[in-house]
Protein backbone atom coordinates (compact mmCIF):
# COMPACT_ATOMS: atom_id res chain seq x y z
CA UNK A 1 0.00 0.00 0.00
CA UNK A 2 2.85 2.39 0.89
CA UNK A 3 4.60 1.59 -2.41
CA UNK A 4 1.43 2.37 -4.40
CA UNK A 5 1.01 5.68 -2.55
CA UNK A 6 4.59 6.59 -3.41
CA UNK A 7 4.14 5.79 -7.10
CA UNK A 8 0.87 7.71 -7.55
CA UNK A 9 2.43 11.23 -7.57
CA UNK A 10 4.91 10.13 -10.25
CA UNK A 11 2.08 8.60 -12.28
CA UNK A 12 0.05 11.81 -12.08
CA UNK A 13 3.10 13.81 -13.18
CA UNK A 14 3.59 11.62 -16.26
CA UNK A 15 -0.11 11.93 -17.15
CA UNK A 16 0.08 15.70 -16.75
CA UNK A 17 3.11 15.98 -19.04
CA UNK A 18 1.48 13.96 -21.82
CA UNK A 19 -1.91 15.68 -21.61
CA UNK A 20 -0.77 19.30 -21.25
CA UNK A 21 2.25 19.53 -23.53
CA UNK A 22 1.43 21.06 -26.92
CA UNK A 23 2.75 19.34 -30.08
CA UNK A 24 5.43 20.82 -32.27
CA UNK A 25 8.62 22.78 -31.53
CA UNK A 26 8.50 26.15 -29.77
CA UNK A 27 9.42 29.32 -31.63
CA UNK A 28 12.95 30.59 -31.04
CA UNK A 29 14.99 33.49 -32.36
CA UNK A 30 14.38 37.17 -33.13
CA UNK A 31 11.24 38.28 -34.93
CA UNK A 32 11.37 40.13 -38.21
CA UNK A 33 9.70 43.57 -38.35
CA UNK A 34 6.08 43.42 -39.45
CA UNK A 35 5.19 44.47 -42.97
CA UNK A 36 2.25 46.87 -43.47
CA UNK A 37 0.07 43.92 -44.50
CA UNK A 38 1.04 42.02 -41.36
CA UNK A 39 0.21 45.10 -39.29
CA UNK A 40 -3.29 45.02 -40.77
CA UNK A 41 -3.68 41.31 -40.02
CA UNK A 42 -2.60 41.79 -36.42
CA UNK A 43 -4.91 44.76 -36.00
CA UNK A 44 -7.78 42.70 -37.42
CA UNK A 45 -7.14 39.84 -35.00
CA UNK A 46 -7.01 42.23 -32.07
CA UNK A 47 -10.20 43.92 -33.25
CA UNK A 48 -12.07 40.60 -33.25
CA UNK A 49 -10.76 39.63 -29.80
CA UNK A 50 -11.69 43.06 -28.45
CA UNK A 51 -15.18 42.85 -29.95
CA UNK A 52 -15.87 39.41 -28.45
CA UNK A 53 -14.04 39.62 -25.13
CA UNK A 54 -14.51 43.30 -24.29
CA UNK A 55 -17.46 44.76 -26.18
CA UNK A 56 -19.68 41.66 -25.87
CA UNK A 57 -18.09 40.04 -22.82
CA UNK A 58 -18.85 36.75 -21.04
CA UNK A 59 -20.89 34.41 -23.23
CA UNK A 60 -22.73 31.59 -21.49
CA UNK A 61 -26.25 30.40 -20.68
CA UNK A 62 -26.14 32.90 -17.80
CA UNK A 63 -25.59 35.75 -20.26
CA UNK A 64 -27.80 34.52 -23.08
CA UNK A 65 -28.07 37.88 -24.84
CA UNK A 66 -24.28 37.97 -25.21
CA UNK A 67 -24.33 34.52 -26.81
CA UNK A 68 -26.76 35.83 -29.43
CA UNK A 69 -24.63 38.92 -30.03
CA UNK A 70 -21.49 36.82 -30.42
CA UNK A 71 -23.08 34.41 -32.88
CA UNK A 72 -24.40 37.32 -34.95
CA UNK A 73 -20.95 38.95 -34.95
CA UNK A 74 -19.20 35.77 -36.12
CA UNK A 75 -21.82 35.14 -38.79
CA UNK A 76 -21.40 38.67 -40.20
CA UNK A 77 -17.62 38.45 -40.24
CA UNK A 78 -17.65 35.11 -42.11
CA UNK A 79 -20.15 36.53 -44.61
CA UNK A 80 -17.92 39.59 -45.08
CA UNK A 81 -15.12 37.18 -46.07
CA UNK A 82 -17.37 35.68 -48.74
CA UNK A 83 -18.28 32.42 -47.02
CA UNK A 84 -21.72 30.84 -47.23
CA UNK A 85 -22.76 30.48 -43.60
CA UNK A 86 -25.06 27.74 -42.35
CA UNK A 87 -26.78 27.77 -38.97
CA UNK A 88 -27.44 24.58 -36.99
CA UNK A 89 -29.90 25.36 -34.23
CA UNK A 90 -30.47 23.24 -31.13
CA UNK A 91 -32.32 23.64 -27.84
CA UNK A 92 -30.87 23.51 -24.32
CA UNK A 93 -32.53 24.55 -21.07
CA UNK A 94 -35.55 25.82 -23.00
CA UNK A 95 -33.37 28.18 -25.02
CA UNK A 96 -32.28 28.13 -28.62
CA UNK A 97 -28.57 28.02 -29.47
CA UNK A 98 -26.83 27.47 -32.78
CA UNK A 99 -23.63 26.24 -34.31
CA UNK A 100 -22.24 28.40 -37.11
CA UNK A 101 -20.57 26.61 -39.98
CA UNK A 102 -18.74 27.85 -43.07
CA UNK A 103 -16.98 25.71 -45.65
CA UNK A 104 -13.90 26.51 -47.72
CA UNK A 105 -14.40 24.62 -50.95
CA UNK A 106 -11.71 22.67 -52.71
CA UNK A 107 -9.79 23.79 -55.78
CA UNK A 108 -11.24 23.19 -59.26
CA UNK A 109 -11.56 19.45 -59.80
CA UNK A 110 -11.44 18.79 -56.06
CA UNK A 111 -14.73 20.28 -54.92
CA UNK A 112 -15.24 17.43 -52.45
CA UNK A 113 -12.01 18.26 -50.65
CA UNK A 114 -13.13 20.95 -48.25
CA UNK A 115 -12.09 22.61 -45.03
CA UNK A 116 -14.88 23.16 -42.51
CA UNK A 117 -14.45 26.30 -40.44
CA UNK A 118 -15.92 26.38 -36.96
CA UNK A 119 -15.47 28.15 -33.65
CA UNK A 120 -16.55 27.70 -30.05
CA UNK A 121 -17.86 31.12 -29.03
CA UNK A 122 -19.15 30.64 -25.50
CA UNK A 123 -16.78 31.19 -22.59
CA UNK A 124 -15.93 30.07 -19.11
CA UNK A 125 -17.92 31.87 -16.43
CA UNK A 126 -16.31 35.18 -15.52
CA UNK A 127 -13.67 34.87 -18.25
CA UNK A 128 -14.76 36.72 -21.42
CA UNK A 129 -11.59 35.82 -23.32
CA UNK A 130 -11.39 32.12 -22.45
CA UNK A 131 -13.16 29.16 -24.00
CA UNK A 132 -14.93 26.87 -21.55
CA UNK A 133 -13.85 23.51 -22.96
CA UNK A 134 -10.07 23.92 -23.07
CA UNK A 135 -9.92 23.36 -26.83
CA UNK A 136 -6.67 24.49 -28.44
CA UNK A 137 -5.53 25.67 -31.85
CA UNK A 138 -3.27 23.33 -33.78
CA UNK A 139 -2.73 25.59 -36.77
CA UNK A 140 -3.02 29.24 -37.81
CA UNK A 141 -3.16 30.12 -41.50
CA UNK A 142 -3.61 33.44 -43.25
CA UNK A 143 -6.88 33.55 -45.24
CA UNK A 144 -4.94 34.55 -48.38
CA UNK A 145 -2.33 31.81 -48.07
CA UNK A 146 -1.61 29.92 -51.32
CA UNK A 147 -3.09 26.40 -51.77
CA UNK A 148 0.31 24.74 -51.23
CA UNK A 149 0.56 26.33 -47.79
CA UNK A 150 -2.96 25.18 -46.93
CA UNK A 151 -2.16 21.59 -47.91
CA UNK A 152 1.10 21.71 -45.95
CA UNK A 153 -0.70 23.02 -42.85
CA UNK A 154 -3.34 20.29 -43.01
CA UNK A 155 -0.68 17.58 -43.38
CA UNK A 156 1.37 18.90 -40.44
CA UNK A 157 -1.67 19.08 -38.14
CA UNK A 158 -2.93 15.67 -39.26
CA UNK A 159 0.44 14.18 -38.29
CA UNK A 160 0.13 15.62 -34.80
CA UNK A 161 2.19 18.77 -35.26
CA UNK A 162 1.32 22.45 -35.14
CA UNK A 163 1.52 24.97 -37.96
CA UNK A 164 1.95 28.73 -37.96
CA UNK A 165 1.78 30.63 -41.22
CA UNK A 166 4.75 33.05 -41.40
CA UNK A 167 2.45 36.06 -41.68
CA UNK A 168 0.04 34.86 -39.02
CA UNK A 169 2.92 33.87 -36.73
CA UNK A 170 4.39 37.34 -36.90
CA UNK A 171 0.98 38.90 -36.37
CA UNK A 172 0.20 36.72 -33.35
CA UNK A 173 3.57 36.63 -31.65
CA UNK A 174 4.90 40.14 -32.16
CA UNK A 175 4.46 42.17 -28.98
CA UNK A 176 5.78 45.58 -29.84
CA UNK A 177 4.50 48.26 -27.52
CA UNK A 178 4.81 51.96 -28.01
CA UNK A 179 4.96 54.08 -24.86
CA UNK A 180 4.48 57.53 -26.23
CA UNK A 181 0.94 58.87 -26.33
CA UNK A 182 -0.67 59.28 -29.76
CA UNK A 183 -2.05 62.78 -30.08
CA UNK A 184 -4.38 62.54 -33.07
CA UNK A 185 -6.95 65.25 -33.63
CA UNK A 186 -10.61 64.36 -33.94
CA UNK A 187 -10.47 65.05 -37.68
CA UNK A 188 -7.41 62.82 -38.14
CA UNK A 189 -9.21 60.02 -36.32
CA UNK A 190 -12.26 60.45 -38.54
CA UNK A 191 -10.15 60.32 -41.71
CA UNK A 192 -8.34 57.16 -40.56
CA UNK A 193 -11.62 55.53 -39.61
CA UNK A 194 -13.04 56.15 -43.09
CA UNK A 195 -9.79 54.88 -44.63
CA UNK A 196 -10.15 51.68 -42.60
CA UNK A 197 -13.58 51.20 -44.17
CA UNK A 198 -12.04 51.33 -47.64
CA UNK A 199 -13.05 54.84 -48.69
CA UNK A 200 -10.99 56.94 -51.11
CA UNK A 201 -9.80 60.50 -50.47
CA UNK A 202 -12.61 61.80 -52.65
CA UNK A 203 -15.26 59.79 -50.80
CA UNK A 204 -13.94 60.87 -47.41
CA UNK A 205 -13.85 64.50 -48.52
CA UNK A 206 -17.47 64.32 -49.68
CA UNK A 207 -18.62 62.90 -46.33
CA UNK A 208 -16.63 65.37 -44.22
CA UNK A 209 -17.22 68.30 -46.64
CA UNK A 210 -13.49 68.92 -47.13
CA UNK A 211 -11.31 68.70 -50.21
CA UNK A 212 -9.39 65.53 -51.17
CA UNK A 213 -6.16 67.49 -50.69
CA UNK A 214 -7.18 68.32 -47.11
CA UNK A 215 -7.86 64.62 -46.56
CA UNK A 216 -4.32 63.85 -47.77
CA UNK A 217 -2.94 66.46 -45.36
CA UNK A 218 -4.77 64.89 -42.41
CA UNK A 219 -3.50 61.44 -43.40
CA UNK A 220 0.08 62.71 -43.70
CA UNK A 221 -0.06 64.36 -40.27
CA UNK A 222 -1.51 61.20 -38.72
CA UNK A 223 1.26 59.11 -40.32
CA UNK A 224 3.92 61.42 -38.88
CA UNK A 225 2.42 61.29 -35.38
CA UNK A 226 2.12 57.50 -35.46
CA UNK A 227 5.52 56.94 -37.00
CA UNK A 228 3.92 55.13 -39.93
CA UNK A 229 5.51 54.95 -43.37
CA UNK A 230 2.32 54.14 -45.31
CA UNK A 231 -1.39 54.88 -45.06
CA UNK A 232 -2.12 51.20 -44.50
CA UNK A 233 0.32 51.05 -41.61
CA UNK A 234 -1.20 54.19 -40.06
CA UNK A 235 -4.67 52.64 -40.13
CA UNK A 236 -3.37 49.38 -38.66
CA UNK A 237 -1.57 51.17 -35.83
CA UNK A 238 -4.60 53.31 -35.02
CA UNK A 239 -6.82 50.22 -34.87
CA UNK A 240 -4.35 48.31 -32.74
CA UNK A 241 -4.04 51.12 -30.22
CA UNK A 242 -7.83 51.70 -30.13
CA UNK A 243 -7.46 55.21 -31.50
CA UNK A 244 -10.22 54.35 -33.97
CA UNK A 245 -12.80 51.58 -33.97
Asked if residue 121 and residue 216 are part of one domain, the reply reads: no
Q: Provide CB contacts within 8 A for 215, sequence distance 6+.
A: 191, 201, 204, 205, 208
Asked if residue 43 and residue 96 are part of one domain, the reply reads: yes
Asked if residue 33 belongs to a domain, the reply is yes
**Residue 119: its pLDDT value, please?**
61
**How big is the chain, counted in residues?**
245
Q: How many independent structural domains does the chain possess?
A: 2
- Could you list the residue range(s) of the whole structural domain that residue 199 is in? 186-240
CATH number where 232 lies: 1.10.10.10
Region label for 31, one of left (φ > 0), alpha (ψ between -120 and 50) or beta (otherwise): beta
Q: Which value, to the nearest 10 degrees, does the dihedral of the CA atoms of residues 212, 216, 222, 227 take?
A: 160
Mean pLDDT, residues 97-119: 74
Asked if residue 208 and residue 94 are part of one domain, the reply reads: no
Mind listing the pLDDT tens digit for each residue in 55-94? 888 887 778 788 888 888 888 888 888 888 888 777 777 7
Asked if residue 169 and residue 191 are part of one domain, the reply reads: no
- The separation between CA 117 and the C-alpha centre of its own chain, rounded to angstroms, equals 14
Q: Which of 125, 148, 173 is the last residue of a domain?
A: 173
Q: Which of 145, 173, 201 is the last residue of a domain?
A: 173
**Residue 130: its pLDDT value, please?**
56
Higher-pLDDT residue of 191, 84? 191
Asked if residue 218 and residue 122 are part of one domain, the reply reads: no
Asked if residue 17 belongs to a domain, the reply is no
Answer whether 0.85 is exceeded by the pTM.
Answer: no
Asked if residue 160 and residue 234 are part of one domain, the reply reads: no
Asked if residue 16 belongs to a domain, the reply is no
Q: Provide CB contacts within 8 A for 205, sequence distance 6+.
A: 211, 212, 214, 215
Mind listing the pLDDT tens digit for each residue in 120-160? 666 666 666 655 454 455 666 666 677 788 788 778 777 76
Asked if residue 136 and residue 235 are part of one domain, the reply reads: no
Asked if residue 208 and residue 154 are part of one domain, the reply reads: no
Asked if residue 158 and residue 192 are part of one domain, the reply reads: no
pLDDT band at residue 51 under the 50/70/90 scheme: confident
Q: Assess whether pLDDT exceeds 70 at residue 118.
A: no
Asked if residue 99 and residue 52 are part of one domain, the reply reads: yes
Instruction: Select from 79, 80, 99 the least CA-distant residue to 89.
Output: 99
Asked if residue 22 belongs to a domain, the reply is no
* DSSP code for 195: H
Q: Which of 173, 206, 225 is the last residue of a domain?
A: 173
Asked if residue 198 belongs to a domain, the reply is yes
Asked if residue 221 and residue 113 are part of one domain, the reply reads: no
pLDDT band at residue 181 under the 50/70/90 scheme: very low
Asked if residue 162 belongs to a domain, the reply is yes
Asked if residue 118 and residue 82 are part of one domain, the reply reads: yes
Amino acid sequence: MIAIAAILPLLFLVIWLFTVKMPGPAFAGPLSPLTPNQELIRAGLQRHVRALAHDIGVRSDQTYSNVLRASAYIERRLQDLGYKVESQEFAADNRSFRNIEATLGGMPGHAHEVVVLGAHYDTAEGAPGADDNASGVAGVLDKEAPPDDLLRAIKVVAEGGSYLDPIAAAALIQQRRRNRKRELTQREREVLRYLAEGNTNEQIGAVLTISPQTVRTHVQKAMEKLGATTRVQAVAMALRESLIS
